[in-house]
Amino acid sequence: MTSILRQSSSTLARLSRSSLQSAARSSIRTSNHTLLLASRISARQARSFASNPPKKPKKDNNGAKEDVTGKQASELSGKPAPGTENLYNGKTPLSPQENGEESAEPPLAEGMTRMNPEDQKAIEELLDTVKKGMPKSQVEIIEKSLEHMKREGIPKELRELMDEMRGKPMTLSQAAKLTRLTSQVVWKQMDKEMKKEQTDFESNESKGGESGGPPPPGGSGKGQKQGAGGGFKPGEMKIDTSSLILSAFVSYLLYRMVMPGETGRDITYQEFRSTFFDKGLVEKLTVVNRDRVRVDLHREATQSIYPDSPAVNPNFHYYFSIGSVEAFERKLDEAQKELGIPSSERIPVSYATDTDAWQFFMNFGPTILFIAAIFYMGRRASSGGGGASGVFGMGKSRAKQFNHETDVKVKFKDVAGMDEAKMEIMEFVSFLKTPEQFQRLGAKIPRGAILSGPPGTGKTLLAKATAGESQVPFFSVSGSEFVEMFVGVGASRVRDLFAMARKNTPCIIFIDEIDAIGKSRGKAGSWGGGNDEREATLNQILTEMDGFNTSEQVVVLAGTNRPDVLDKALMRPGRFDRHIAIDRPTMEGRKQIFLVHLKKIVTHEDLEHLTGRLSALTPGFSGADIANCCNEAALIAARTSAKSVAMIHFEQAIERVIGGLEKKSLVLSPEEKKVVAYHEAGHAICGWFFKYADPLLKVSIIPRGQGALGYAQYLPAGDTYLMNVNQLMDRMAMTLGGRVSEEIHFETVTSGASDDFNKVTRMATAMVTKWGMSKKLGPLHFEDDENKLHKPFAEATAQTIDSEVRRIVDEAYKQCKDLLTEKKKEIGLVAEELLSKEVLGREDMIRLLGKRPFDENKDFVKYFGGGPGSKSAPPPFPTENTDSPPEAPTPA
Ligand SMILES: Nc1ncnc2c1ncn2[C@@H]1O[C@H](COP(=O)(O)OP(=O)(O)OP(=O)(O)O)[C@@H](O)[C@H]1O
């Protein structure tokens, strides 16, 4: 082993490299850590050597004698190359036995040679450094292996090989031999340890049998023995990729550290002749691979002529290229003749085929590294879960798993205002909790349910609550996460997801936005061809759902905003058996949802009144909107350093959610402001004096959101599901109020009513084509499909539709104009007040116009007709963010 430390630096690097190769090869066969150890130890030796070169051993300190190579080196080198004095001393120690010393050590096996204390110290130092970055288990193995080497020595053959390699490039056959020898050491060591374990185990067993006592706690004698941790544990010796890469890295660093800058240099034939050949410095020439010639120089002579040349380094060679061997021989012959060298003293020429291991590594290294990197990344990506995985784990499911004990805390009580949906889904809970109850009566277990509804209505929340109630794991994934650029990835992810779910039964899978993959296959193909990837994914889901056997308690819930586009195959019984529609909450529902979210808010308002008023103000709000409002109110209150969140904060929050931020920075000219004020006053007067219009809550001329210069807010008469012709006509007339007011009060009109016209036209068109409210066209429904190029009615019908729409709008316009002409003075009052105050509330309107001459809605009176709450700033109509009244809802 001393010889390892004393070798030339390049040999050391090769040694560590070869050991690594050995470890790598063995890993494929044996998964054995100890093989890696050889690499680490040789690496450690080299590192210690490089950073702390061993002192030149005192002659005969250990009785060492020079070996042949050492002699040659010392003969040749009058003075060693600078910086290499300690590297090439060529000493090989003898074992103590050879030295004639008495040794207390056990005798070595045949063919082994012992490490001397100097070697051991160097290795221990090296190991101390390497151990710092290693897992404990590996450190243990390394220490044990070192102990083993101290005890048992290393094969003589290995040492001889190292000596042989000194100062020369390592050939492939040497690398192979080195691998074989290091492997042998490891195998022997393992074999011995295993035998020892076996013997210990047997003796333990027999002792246990004799004593007749109870077996020790923790299992068998073997287990106990292993647990005691005394032995070398072959089972632990698993080589892993990271260790391999670590070793490669260490070896590479070592190589960089100890390798001399150059081992060879290319020169031209002319340089060769003039610099070396003509001066008689050439000792030998070797034709390598028939195209290059390696020049061996007389080192001493070279040094005396060129003391600074790298050629004084015994490991250094010059090379020059040749066209053909014959031509080279001819040229050399001529050159020698020219110099008059007699044939007996001619320079010897030998021929070699060089497959230098390093050359080999240099050629194939990048490829090997690349493959190793892919392998490593592939393993990393696919680690941490079962199931199929593709390249870099692409085929793995992206589903998030929520642990029922820790993560899924949502219960049904947290989901407010959807009692019917909860009832439906409750059945899944009882199935997951007590499946026997269903199976006993021969009932088939429902596979899954589609939860459909507008965004933010609580579909995900309901699915989570189902998991929370039934206390089972919950896998949540979005449909779009299955979609990838590569065909087959989606299907693979579906397989992986279901495989994962089956391992965790009973459980719930929730696929959000299932329309991303579950779109009807026929429909998707009608424009621009089908989508193979999406279809493959969908097919895989269908197959997986079919594949459940009835006892598998995996429930699949899916959420979508577009149930109409889903493939029929998904909806058939046996797949998504249930279709649960979740609509926007009703007034009562909103109250409940407010109550849920107000739990976290600090407020001193009367909860009953607060929730009632807020829910009356928020028709059309989804659960998510309500949650957002509560949070927004708390933020507003915090911004004003309020102690608790008050009604006014909630109302401002609602206003902000609907209308967007107030744009105080947008400054209108006085003329524009006047137009806006009269426009808004027109709407306000219509809302006040038309019986079926919605009562006004607030009107403002502060610009808000996107492009709304004014803002009129109305409170609808509760949740409206049906609208009659009177209501529609009043609403249309009110919508036109802005423009009519402009016409009455100014010489010209502005572009501000564009959105109003859009709404009025759409309402009138719906009345004619969908709701059968035109006597001329009768009770017909004309499909309005934008994808169809042809209208589904005759040209004459189209003309009738146009004329009927025009008639209705004209009627609304007349109705509006009549009213506003009559109330011209009131418009002026409201507009001027608006110009001075910018915002008018309901109280201002009563003050200016008197009480509204119609009966008010019950809820309106309850929450806005007086009392403390009504004094605060009235909030906007939720579906409205411009200056015109809302559109009619589609009658059920
Ligand atoms: N019924 C409800 N009760 C209480 N909170 C609700 C309710 N509905 C919605 N929310 C609130 O809205 C948030 C969003 O809801 P969720 O994500 O379940 O909507 P979704 O219907 O799945 O929306 P999307 O269709 O956009 O996926 C919830 O986290 C919750 O705070």
Tens of pLDDT, residue by residue over 703-762, are: 776 656 777 777 665 556 778 898 899 999 999 999 999 999 998 998 888 889 999 999
Ligand 1 atom at shortest distance from the alpha carbon of 418: 1
Ligand 1 centroid, distance to 891 Cα (angstroms): 25
Q: What is the pLDDT of residue 116?
A: 64
User: Which residues are CB-contacts of 777 (< 8 A; sequence separation ≥ 6)?
Assistant: 768, 769, 797, 800, 801, 804
| Residue 363 burial by Cβ neighbours in a 10 Å radius (0-12, 13-18, 19+) | exposed
Q: Which atom of ligand 1 is nearest to the CA of 463?
A: 18
135 lines ligand 1 (CB under 6 A): no
In this structure, the dihedral spanned by the alpha carbons of residues 610, 616, 620 and 625, taken in order and rounded to 10 degrees, is -10
User: What are the Cα distances from residue 194, in Å, to 430, 457, 550?
Assistant: 55, 65, 49
| The domain boundary residue, chosen from 562, 581, 600 | 581
Residue nearest to atom 17 of ligand 1 (CA): 460
Q: What is the CATH number of the domain that holds 650?
A: 1.10.8.60
Residue 226 in any domain: the answer is no
Regarding whether 698 and 603 lie in a shared domain, the answer is no
Indicate whether residue 456 lines ligand 1 (CB < 6 A): yes
CA 30 to chain centre: 34
- C-alpha 716 – ligand 1 centre gap (Å): 24
Q: What's the pLDDT at 121?
A: 66
CB distance 575 to 447 below 8 Å: yes
Sign of CA dihedral 434, 501, 465, 565: negative
Instruction: For a ligand 1 pocket test, name from 452, 457, 584, 596 the mutation site with the most ligand atoms within 8 angstroms of its C-beta.
Output: 457
What are the angstrom distances between the C-alpha of 791 and each of 619, 716, 774? 35, 35, 19
Give the C-alpha separation, 749 to 752, whole Å: 8
Closest atom of ligand 1 to 417 CA is 1
The closest residue, in CA terms, to atom 25 on ligand 1 is 455
Pair (820, 861) in one structural domain: yes
Burial class of 807 by CB neighbour count within 10 A (0 to 12, 13 to 18, 19+): middle
Ligand 1 binding pocket includes 416 (Cβ within 6 Å):
yes
CB of 530 shorter than 6 A to ligand 1: no
Query: Is residue 455 in contact with ligand 1, taking CB distance under 6 Å?
Result: yes
Identity (one letter) of the amino acid at 782? F
Instruction: Note whether 235 and 296 are same-domain residues.
Output: no
Q: Which of 517, 513, 512 is nearest to 489 (CA)?
A: 517
What atom in ligand 1 is closest to the CA of residue 451? 21
The neighbour count for residue 796, using CB atoms within 10 Å, is: 8
Domain of residue 285, CATH code: 3.40.1690.20
Asked if residue 457 has its Cβ within 6 Å of ligand 1, the reply is yes
Pocket test for ligand 1, best of 461, 591, 632 (most atoms within 8 A of CB): 461
677 lines ligand 1 (CB under 6 A): no
Phi, psi (deg, nearest 5) at residue 209: -65, -40
User: Is residue 558 within 6 Å of ligand 1 at its C-beta?
Assistant: no
Q: Return d(Cα 612, Cα 588) in angstroms, integer.
A: 8
Bridge partners of residue 356, in order along the sequence: 171
pLDDT of amino acid 106 = 65
Q: What is the CATH number of the domain that holds 430?
A: 3.40.50.300
- Most informative mutation of 402, 412, 460, 477 for ligand 1 (most atoms within 8 A of CB): 460
488 and 549: one domain?
A: yes
Asked whether 875 lines ligand 1 (CB < 6 A), one says no
State how many domains the chain has.
5
List the catalytic residue out of 424, 484, 680, 826: 680
The protein residue whose alpha carbon is closest to atom 12 in ligand 1 is: 624
Say if 719 falls within a structural domain.
yes
User: Ligand 1 in contact with 461 (CB < 6 A)?
Assistant: yes
Q: Are 48 and 135 in contact (CB under 8 A)?
A: no
pLDDT 10s digits, 459-514: 888 888 888 887 888 888 888 877 766 666 778 888 888 888 888 878 888 888 88
CA–CA separation, 78 vs 333, rounded Å?
32
Tokens of 24: 């790598």
| Among 352, 380, 400, residue at a domain's last position | 352
Using a 10 angstrom Cβ sphere, with 0-12 exposed, 13-18 middle and 19 or more buried, the burial of residue 385 is middle
Is 385 a member of any domain? no
Close Cβ partners of 529 (under 8 Å, ≥ 6 residues apart): none
The Cα 644–Cα 603 span in angstroms is 5
- The reply to whether ligand 1 has any atom less than 6 angstroms from the CB of 631 is no
What distance in angstroms lies between residue 462's CA and the mean position of ligand 1's atoms?
8
Q: For residues 486 and 484, what is the distance between their CA atoms, to the nearest angstrom?
A: 5
| Residue 55 CB neighbour total at 10 angstroms | 9
Q: How far is the CA of 171 from the centre of ligand 1 (A)?
A: 70
Co-location of 445 and 493 in the same domain = yes
CB of 561 sitting under 6 A from ligand 1:
yes
Q: Are residues 730 and 775 in the same domain?
A: yes
Quote the CA–CA distance of 763 and 758 in Å, as a whole number. 9
pLDDT value at position 744? Answer: 92
Exposed, middle or buried by CB within 10 Å (0-12, 13-18, 19+), for 353? Answer: exposed
- Nearest protein Cα to ligand 1, atom 4: 415
* Residue bearing the CA closest to ligand 1, atom 18: 458
The minimum-distance atom of ligand 1 relative to the CA of 464 is 18
- Helix or strand or coil: residue 271? helix
Q: pTM here? A: 0.53
Question: Which amino acid is it at 4?
Answer: I
**Does one domain contain both 517 and 534?**
yes
| CA-closest residue to ligand 1 atom 26 | 455
- Do 285 and 347 meet the contact criterion of CB atoms below 8 Å apart? yes
> How many whole angstroms from 516 Cα to the centroid of ligand 1?
19
Q: State which ligand 1 atom lies nearest to the alpha carbon of 592.
A: 3
With a 6 Å cutoff on the Cβ, whether 630 touches ligand 1 is: no
In this structure, are 478 and 533 located in the same domain? yes
Does ligand 1 come within 6 angstroms of the Cβ of 418? yes
- On whether both 575 and 597 belong to a single domain, the answer is no
Look at residues 252, 281, 315 and tell me which one is the last residue of a structural domain.
252
For residue 350, the surrounding DSSP H or E stretch is: strand 349-352
Give the CATH number of the domain where residue 803 resides: 1.20.58.760
Same domain, yes or no, for 90 and 184? yes
Token pair 């009608």: residue: 526
Cα–Cα distance for residue pair 218/196, rounded to 1 Å: 22
Q: Tell whether ligand 1 has an atom less than 6 A from the beta carbon of residue 580.
A: no
Q: Smallest Cα–Cα separation from 167: which of 267, 62, 260?
A: 260
- Cα(590) to ligand 1 centroid in Å equals 12
Does residue 212 form part of some domain? no
CA–CA separation, 837 vs 873, rounded Å? 13
Strand partners, 438: none
Q: Residue 73 has what pLDDT?
A: 38
DSSP structure class, residue 519: B
Residue 494 Cβ contacting ligand 1 at under 6 Å: no
Residues 650 and 749 both lie in one domain: no
What count of Cα atoms within 13 Å lies in the side-chain half-sphere of residue 768? 21
Q: DSSP for 711-780?
A: EEEE--SSS-S---HHHHHHHHHHHHHHHHHHHHHSSS--GGGHHHHHHHHHHHHHHHHTS---TTT-S-
- The atom number, within ligand 1, closest to the CA of 457 reads 21
Distance from the CA of 620 to the center of ligand 1, in angstroms?
A: 14
- Between CA 753 and CA 231 the distance in angstroms is 90
User: Distance, CA 591 to ligand 1 centroid (Å)?
Assistant: 15
Cα 480 to ligand 1 centroid, rounded to whole Å: 19
Nearest-angstrom CA–CA distance, 567 and 515: 9
Contact criterion met (CB below 8 Å) for 521 and 479: no
Return d(Cα 93, Cα 106) in angstroms, integer.
19
In a domain, 485, yes or no: yes
621 burial type by CB count under 10 A (0-12 exposed, 13-18 middle, 19+ buried): buried
Domain containing residue 333: 264-352
| Distance from Cα 627 to the centre of ligand 1, integer Å | 8
Residue 518: the pLDDT is 76
DSSP state of 315: T
Instruction: Please report where in the chains the tokens 């035998």 appear, as a residue.
Output: 195
Coil, strand, or helix at residue 716?
coil
Compute and round to an integer the Cα radius of gyration of the chain: 45
CB of 424 sitting under 6 A from ligand 1: no
Residue 126 CA to residue 121 CA, distance in Å, equals 9
Query: Kind of pairing, strands 554-560 and 711-714?
Result: unpaired
451 lines ligand 1 (CB under 6 A): no
Q: Would 375 be classed as within a structural domain? A: no
Tell whether ligand 1 has an atom less than 6 A from the beta carbon of residue 593. Answer: yes
Within a domain: 359: no
CA dihedral 99, 105, 107, 110 (to 10 degrees): -70
Please give the Cα distance from 544 to 475 (Å, whole number): 15
CA of 451 to the centre of ligand 1 (A): 12
680 included as an active-site residue: yes
Domain for residue 890, yes or no? no
Q: Is the Cβ atom of 740 under 6 angstroms away from ligand 1?
A: no
CA of 415 to the centre of ligand 1 (A): 9
Angle of helix 725-745 relative to helix 754-769, nearest 10 degrees, comes to 150
Residue partners of 525: CB distance under 8 A and separation at least 6: 531
Query: Atom 15, ligand 1: which residue's CA is nearest?
Result: 458
In angstroms, the CA 531 to CA 519 distance is 10
Q: Which residues of the chain have pLDDT under 70?
A: 1-106, 115-146, 148-149, 158-159, 161-263, 314, 354-366, 374-400, 403-408, 484-488, 521-532, 547-551, 664, 705-708, 715-720, 784-789, 856-892
Distance (angstroms) between ligand 1 centre and the Cα of 773 equals: 37
Return the percent helix, strand and coil in the chain, to nearest 5: 55, 10, 35
* 94 in the same domain as 235: yes
| pLDDT value of residue 215 | 38
Q: Angle CA(537)–CA(543)–CA(546) in degrees, nearest 5? A: 145
Q: Whose CA is nearest to atom 30 of ligand 1?
A: 624
Q: Could you tell me the distance, in angstroms and rounded to a whole number, from the CA of residue 100 to the centre of ligand 1?
A: 88
